[in-house]
Amino acid sequence: MPRIRYLPACLPVLLLARIAMAQSPPETEPLEEVVVTGEFPGPGMWKVTSPEDPAGHVLWIVAEPPPLPKRMKWKSREVEAVAANAQEILRDSSVRVEPDEKIGLFKGLSLLPVALKARRNPEEATLQSQLPADAYQRWLVQKKRFLGSDSGVEKWRPLFAAGKLRREAFDDLGLREGDIVWEVVEKLAKKRKIKTTTPSLQFKFHTDGLKEEIREFSRQPLADTECFVTTLDLTETLSDTVTGERRARAWATADLETLGSLSPLPNPFLPCALALLATDFAKQVIPPDIREQLHALWLESAGKSLAANQTTLAIVPLAKLMRAGGYLDRLRAKGYLIEAPK
């Protein structure tokens, strides 16, 4: 099973349900894409060193950006130059969830009907009955804009409906996220055979009784209102294309002052992940302190890479890097010296 970077995708029931959710959206009026013209100098990099290291080893950190316009161009020469001289590329920490035995095609297909049912509210309840009135009214506005007249989603659990809304909003607004920097660095790393490290935590789930586990999941209520509302916050915020363009330009020009002045994008990942981690099935597989474990694992790996290599290039999400209590704050707390991009 491939590496899984997002906790909501770690649960087998959601992996199966995503197969059915990958359907074409209803026909809607085309939306204006966020277009950032020109080619930008590219993101800055943070320089991390240890005051106790006489060899002068350096850990360079480049941030994967917030959602960017698909057509935006940025120059990657500086990042590529560091990568070319690096002995190691360090990616963000991740989770791997694997079955204790291989799930064949036939068994996977036999689970699909059960997984499809799991995305629906228990007892055929509707979104309107599951959500606060104000949240549902906001949903109707966002649904009309990004999902059109799709009525089937009204019986989905809020978490699944939120995921569909988010995907279609990104598509309609012409935005992309994730691995934008990595796609550039990966080619160079493969060509030059540079060591690439992805710190990961590995867990296994039992395939025996999996069908019944999914059925039980489908009957269990989810505490996913916050997940749903935060997703609405995100799609509404992304619809402000002027601010979105400012955020994209700030990342692409290492304008930390502007990045710091803009309100952080609403991030539904954590409340959605917590809603899933609270289920009985998830508790059997994923520990409750998984988020802290992942942070600690990356910091440990960064320390080892910095000690071992003359040059290391790390690629992590911007939000995890700059937020209060994020990677930069934790590195400073450990006594490392950090120089911000100029």
pLDDT given for residue 93 in this prediction? 95
Separation CA 158–CA 92 (nearest Å): 29
CA atoms within 13 Å, Cβ hemisphere of 43: 26
pLDDT given for residue 181 in this prediction? 92
Q: Pull the structure tokens for residue 341.
A: 């991009």
- Does residue 30 belong to any structural domain of this protein? no
In the predicted model, is pLDDT for residue 339 greater than 90?
Answer: yes
pLDDT in tens, 198-239: 999 988 877 776 777 777 778 888 899 999 999 999 999 999
In the predicted model, is pLDDT for residue 326 greater than 50?
Answer: yes
pLDDT given for residue 18 in this prediction? 35
- Does residue 126 belong to any structural domain of this protein? yes
pLDDT given for residue 276 in this prediction? 85
Separation CA 330–CA 165 (nearest Å): 34
CA atoms within 13 Å, Cβ hemisphere of 244: 25
In the predicted model, is pLDDT for residue 17 greater than 80?
Answer: no
The region of weakest confidence among 246-260, 276-290, 312-326 is: 276-290
- Does residue 83 belong to any structural domain of this protein? yes
Q: How many domains does the chain have?
A: 1
- pLDDT tier, 68 (very low <50, low <70, confident <90, very high otherwise): confident
Cα–Cα nearest to 227, from 270, 288, 265? 270
pLDDT given for residue 112 in this prediction? 52
Q: Is 38 left (phi over 0), alpha (psi -120 to 50) or beta?
A: left
pLDDT given for residue 178 in this prediction? 79
> How high is the mean pLDDT of the chain?
83
- Does residue 1 belong to any structural domain of this protein? no
Burial class (CB in 10 A: 0-12, 13-18, 19+), 130: buried
User: Which residue do the tokens 């890479």 mark?
Assistant: 305
- Torsion angles phi and psi, residue 253, rounded to 5: -120, 10
pLDDT given for residue 106 in this prediction? 53
Mean pLDDT of 303-326: 94
pLDDT given for residue 284 in this prediction? 81
pLDDT in tens, 69-89: 887 888 888 999 999 999 999
pLDDT given for residue 37 in this prediction? 45
In the predicted model, is pLDDT for residue 13 greater than 80?
Answer: no
- Does residue 155 belong to any structural domain of this protein? yes
pLDDT in tens, 173-199: 999 887 889 998 999 999 999 999 999
Separation CA 133–CA 139 (nearest Å): 10
- Does residue 33 belong to any structural domain of this protein? no
User: Which residue do the tokens 């990568």 mark?
Assistant: 83
Question: Domain range spanning residue 306?
Answer: 7-24+42-339
- Does residue 210 belong to any structural domain of this protein? yes
Burial class (CB in 10 A: 0-12, 13-18, 19+), 191: exposed
- Does residue 2 belong to any structural domain of this protein? no
How far is CA 297 from each of CA 9, 263, 290, 306, rounded to the nearest angstrom? 20, 28, 10, 14
Separation CA 103–CA 92 (nearest Å): 28
pLDDT in tens, 93-120: 998 877 766 765 555 545 555 566 778 8
Mean pLDDT of 298-305: 98
CA atoms within 13 Å, Cβ hemisphere of 302: 29
Separation CA 280–CA 284 (nearest Å): 7
Separation CA 115–CA 312 (nearest Å): 42
In the predicted model, is pLDDT for residue 43 greater than 80?
Answer: yes
pLDDT given for residue 62 in this prediction? 95
Count CB neighbours of 262 within 10 A: 13
Strands 45-49 and 58-64: antiparallel
pLDDT given for residue 130 in this prediction? 94
22/97: higher pLDDT: 97
Cα–Cα nearest to 59, from 302, 254, 296, 251? 302
In the predicted model, is pLDDT for residue 315 greater than 80?
Answer: yes
